[in-house]
Structure 1
């Protein structure tokens, strides 16, 4: 299996596959409360069978070229994931998302993983618009969108039900020309 280096600290991004369900479920269990604050993943991945089904759904998306799931590893340990939740190559639109367990927080892992995956989507798959949704209460996720050079498109009021509670969701996006311009500016700096 391949891994993409996320920097000098040994962090890596690698595909997650159904055969890794046991490790995946253990990761979700370690961060169940933390992860579940803003996304319903802990409700979906409750045991080995549901973990395997979740990873299988992304394997099917990868085979159909409509999505992907990547594990974020720090010191060889799975501490998070980055997903291409939806991808429509014909329309040139993809939605991305992520989560971390507490052991992965504060290391810049999501921002680095996002840069790698967004760059792949734009440069390899020809995606024109990358979308990022975050609960208005999820300041960390919104900060990542800003660091990625995304623009806030608006707020979808009470559009997401998680934990029995309705959340307002901010929609952020970056267009391929903006993404490329941001990379060029960073290279010159």
Structure 2
């Protein structure tokens, strides 16, 4: 199976595959500092704990090897400031990935999430058989929605969703970028 690189160097930002228990103290601290920033939009924040973070990190190697999730620490100035990844849910078609990201509040507004997302889009389309990448967020989460718009994603659809986090509206906004759209965008010199 083709796999993306374990380390992706970007302009001032590094994406690196999570390193299991070695990343636990730093990732847990960054999450702790980010809870209030993430709470309105991220449902798993309500269940945040050291045990859940430990379980998350412990599952990364198997999910990477299976091609189900390529999870990266976002590193800025030598420290973890968030996470991003390509992943599949049980119902995700084999020819696609969903792309997700979150940042510590001190790292927002600097293009970090956009650079990380752009890099993961490029990696997704280097994998054989991937026809599209999706980004899913609540339409009221304007910061998350700005990233796919910047990268040339097209709003694919909106669907009802269970409200799991306090600020969610009960709807998912799904953005999609196809391999063909990405090639056209890259050929024109624009994002991604």
Aligned to 1:67: 69
User: RCO (CA 8 Å, sep 6+): is it higher in 1 or 2?
Assistant: 2
RMSD: 2.3
In the TM superposition, residue 160 of structure 1 has moved relative to its aligned partner by 4.3
Question: What is the aligned length?
Answer: 184
Aligned to 1:102: 105
In the TM superposition, residue 176 of structure 1 has moved relative to its aligned partner by 0.5
Question: Is 2:23 the partner of 1:3?
Answer: no
Structure with greater proportional strand content: 1
Show structure 1 runs of 5+ residues with no match. Answer: none
Aligned to 2:55: 53
Rounded Cα–Cα distance in structure 2 between residues aligned with 1:147 and 1:108: 11
Aligned to 1:156: 159
In the TM superposition, residue 166 of structure 1 has moved relative to its aligned partner by 5.4
In the TM superposition, residue 115 of structure 1 has moved relative to its aligned partner by 1.2
In the TM superposition, residue 90 of structure 1 has moved relative to its aligned partner by 7.5
Rounded Cα–Cα distance in structure 1 between residues aligned with 2:69 and 2:140: 26
TM-score by length of 2: 0.86
In the TM superposition, residue 84 of structure 1 has moved relative to its aligned partner by 1.4
Deviations 1:17-44 (A, max 9, x none): 3221111111100101101221123234
